[in-house]
Structure 1
Amino acid sequence: MKTLRKVLLASALCLLWGGHASADTPQKQAHAEKAAQGHRIDRSGKTRKGKASFYGRRFHGKKMANGEIMKPDSNAAASKTLPVGTVAKVTNLENNKSEVVVVKDRGPYVDGRIIDVTPKTADKLDMKEEGVAPVAVTPLKLPPKPEAESAPPDKAK
């Protein structure tokens, strides 16, 4: 029951701060991994529609899933389903403004949201005032498949 309360509190804080769960402690890392369960990595290259939000201030300077530090003036993004390293075009469907981002992190962990962008990208997409915007996310370049993902299962046993 305490864990459920913590998850609900974290989700509520995410809504207020416009960000996603940070993974800077082992407990938070475990939460981020648990929250990502059930989300398959999407290598189809298909455009997906949903809502975008942007990283809140508390994530500035924090380590992202790829090991880099989140810089608010970068073009980094977080996705639950696109492979880390994906280059994608994010289009704000309310004003047709687009920006190219690189998926470097996991999240957002709020239902209905498909991508988190940096404050700089949010400014360029003209979504910062509202905090959330309907978007289309189109993968432009997918990273190569990791060896473990592309290798056939071992049937020798």
Structure 2
Amino acid sequence: MVTFSAPVRCPCPHSAPLALFVISCLLLALASAGCGHKAPKPPPHIALPGKKKAGSSGKIPATQRPYVVKGVTYVPIPSAKGYRERGVASWYGEPFHGRHTSNGEIYNMYGDTAAHKTLPMGTILLVRNLDNGRSSVVRINDRGPFVRERIIDLSYTKARELGVVARGTARVEIVALEEAGERPQASMAASPGPAPPSRPQAPAATRPQPRKSPVPDFDRGNFFVQVGAFEHLEEARTRARSFARLGRDVVIQQYPAAGMNLYRVLVFASHSLREARKYEAHMRESGYRYTLLLAR
């Protein structure tokens, strides 16, 4: 015979709280086991490896990126402002004529370009031969020369102007006159260039007169064309006299450039900006490739 009896209650007064404590511990353990595979998040100021910050991938022109030649790393400088350097110049010609330069242009040994290891592409340089005093202007469009102590590789034409072709090298000083992508008013220099054209295509200029009252027309003013800039005053005077003999009004103005004083020769073009631009174009066609149009 089976009999049933009522459940026996634990006389311990703390049995209920103890059971709740045990159940809470079990639930906590289960919760910990369920999320144990998740790694703690790093502090917000520490970036995870392999990830880049937004907006940090700014593009750098290929010609401004570091490059390696014969195990040597060259790092192009961001600006040519105030750049001056002395060293050995060389030149390169026939084997490279018609090939691509570092900036993608086709190399022309008869052009007015040069190669430098680190200057920005497009930089305009005044190159002076320290042995014979000759000077000329070049534009950087290539990298090199990768020979110790050499600082610039000239085109054949520029090397011939400076008297470098026969010897192959010469001691020179280079001075940055114009940064890449810029064209400041007082920044160009030129070696003794072609004779001034005997028959200017632009109408004969009249002597500039001071304006009595401002004219609300941007086409009006006193416009000059810079036809050269020289280290020595006498060279500037020689250039100025050649234009003065043609009846042109000429001004010689001294200005600083990269820590040195140059004398620029300004030829009055016209009171009209439109006519002055025509005269500037005419001067370029006549062989003055580095003319600048200025307003005074």
**Structures share fold, TM-score greater than 0.5:** yes
SS at match of 2:88: strand
Tell me which amino acid in the other structure corresponds to 2:122. Answer: G
Q: 1:34 aligns to what?
A: 68
Shift of 1:44: 4.2
Tell me which stretches of 4 or more aligned residues in structure 1 moved more than 3 Å.
none
Alignment of 1:87-126 (within 5 A): 87-126=124-163
Give 1:57's aligned residue: 94
Provide the secondary structure at the position in 2 that maps to 1:45. Answer: coil
Deviations 1:38-82 (A, max 9, x none): 444263422100000001321111100111111011011000021
CA contact (8 A) 2:91 2:168 kept: yes
Which one-letter code corresponds to 1:92 in the other structure? N
For 2:68, the aligned partner's letter is K
Calculate percent identity across the aligned residue pairs. 39
Distance 2:152 2:108 in 1: 16
- 1:29 corresponds to which residue? none
**Which structure 2 residues correspond to residues 1-157 of structure 1 after superposition, within 5 A?**
33-35=67-69, 37-41=73-77, 43-144=80-181
Equivalents in 2 of 1:61, 1:144: separation in Å? 24
TM-fit CA distance, 1:88: 0.4
The AA in structure 1 aligned to 2:163 is D
1:114-135 Cα offsets, whole Å, 9 max, x none, are 0000010010001100000000
Higher-Rg member (1/2) = 2
How much is the aligned-residue C-alpha RMSD, in angstroms? 1.9
Partner of 1:58, secondary structure, is: helix
- For 2:171 and 2:155, locate their aligned partners in 1 and report how far apart those are by CA, in whole Å: 16
Report the Cα offset of residue 144 of structure 1.
4.6
Q: 1:66 to 1:40 in 2, by over 3 A?
A: closer
Is the 2:80–2:123 Cα contact (8 Å) retained in structure 1?
no
Secondary structure of 1:130's partner? coil
Q: Distance in 1 between matches of 2:94 and 2:87?
A: 23
Structure 1 stretch 61-70 or stretch 34-43: which is displaced more? 34-43
CA distance in 1, matches of 2:101, 2:131: 29
Q: How many residues align?
A: 114
Kindly provide the amino acid, as one letter, of the partner of residue 55 in structure 1. Y
**Does the CA contact (< 8 Å) of 2:125 and 2:137 recur in 1?**
yes
SS at match of 2:126: strand
* Unpaired runs of at least 5, structure 1: 1-31, 146-157
Are residues 67 and 90 of structure 1, via their aligned partners in 2, closer, same or farther at CA, if it must alter by over 3 Å? same
Q: Higher relative CO (CA 8 A, sep ≥ 6), structure 1 or 2?
A: 1
Partners of 1:56 and 1:137 in 2: CA distance: 20
Give the distance between the partners of 1:74 and 1:144, measured in 2 at CA: 19
Q: State how far apart, in whole Å, the 2-side matches of 1:33 and 1:71 are.
A: 24
**Secondary structure of the corresponding residue to residue 124 of structure 1:** helix
- CA–CA distance in structure 1, aligned partners of residues 87 and 106 of structure 2: 26
SS of the residue 1:108 aligns to? coil
Would you tell me which structure has more helix in proportion to its own residues?
1
